[in-house]
């Protein structure tokens, strides 16, 4: 057989392998968020968890869904993890735009993971009382670029 006539199955093999690998990777993603999307949850962001290339680091863009535990200011609020709401630590979210969320709202937040320092972020955001942020000092949080209210809660 001439070199330029490769059998059809040899051309299809790489595509099939890629599709199978994609299914395996997506199947390994967690679903511990309140919104039902696959991927990071509140605890993953706080702890920088994930495996291998999926570890969450400062500078990573993430999307999480959870219930708003407390509104700290017009530009900041705390999220509670879907499974950790009784004893889990909340995750701080700061947004440059006014976040019209209320305690109990389920929201989907997309933003960049950062390490929190009140002095640094209070210069650029309306944070309010410094004491309300003591628990977040030097911990991961999200600087949100998108907040969607009333994210569909997980079912099942």
Check which CATH number belongs to the domain holding 110 and give it: 2.40.50.140
Confidence of residue 17 (pLDDT cuts 50, 70, 90): very low
**Residue 136 counted as domain residue:** yes
> How far is Cα 102 from Cα 77, in angstroms, rounded to an integer?
9
3 state SS of 131:
helix
C-alpha dihedral, 42 to 46 to 47 to 50, nearest 10°:
50
Report which of residues 105 and 48 the model is more confident about: 105
Spatial contact of 17 and 138, defined as CB atoms under 8 Å apart: no
What is the reported pLDDT for 113?
95
| Structural domains in the chain (count) | 1
**Residue 17 counted as domain residue:** no
> How far is Cα 91 from Cα 39, in angstroms, rounded to an integer?
16
First to last CA, the chain: 55
Query: How do the residues of the chain divide into helix, strand and coil, expressed in percent and rounded to 5?
Result: 25, 30, 45
**Residue 36 counted as domain residue:** no
**Residue 100 counted as domain residue:** yes
**Residue 155 counted as domain residue:** no
**Residue 30 counted as domain residue:** no
**Residue 140 counted as domain residue:** yes
Global confidence as pTM: 0.66
**Residue 154 counted as domain residue:** no
- Could you tell me the residue range of the domain that residue 101 belongs to? 42-149
Mean pLDDT of the chain: 74
Average pLDDT over residues 73-102: 81
């Amino acid at each position: 057989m001439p070199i330029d006539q490769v059998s059809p199955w040899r051309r299809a093999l790489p595509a099939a392998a890629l599709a199978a690998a994609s299914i395996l990777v997506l199947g390994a993603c967690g679903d511990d968020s309140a919104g039902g999307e696959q991927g990071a949850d509140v605890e993953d962001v706080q702890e920088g968890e994930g495996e291998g290339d999926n570890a969450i680091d400062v500078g990573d863009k993430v999307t999480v869904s959870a219930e708003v535990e407390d509104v700290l200011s017009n530009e900041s609020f705390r999220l509670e993890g879907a499974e950790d709401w009784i004893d889990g630590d909340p995750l701080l979210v700061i947004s440059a735009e006014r976040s019209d969320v209320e305690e109990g709202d389920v929201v989907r937040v997309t933003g960049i993971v950062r390490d929190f320092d009140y002095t640094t972020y209070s210069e650029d955001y309306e944070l309010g009382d410094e004491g309300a942020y003591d628990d977040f000092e030097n911990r991961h949080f999200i600087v949100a670029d998108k907040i969607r209210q009333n994210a569909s809660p997980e079912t099942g």
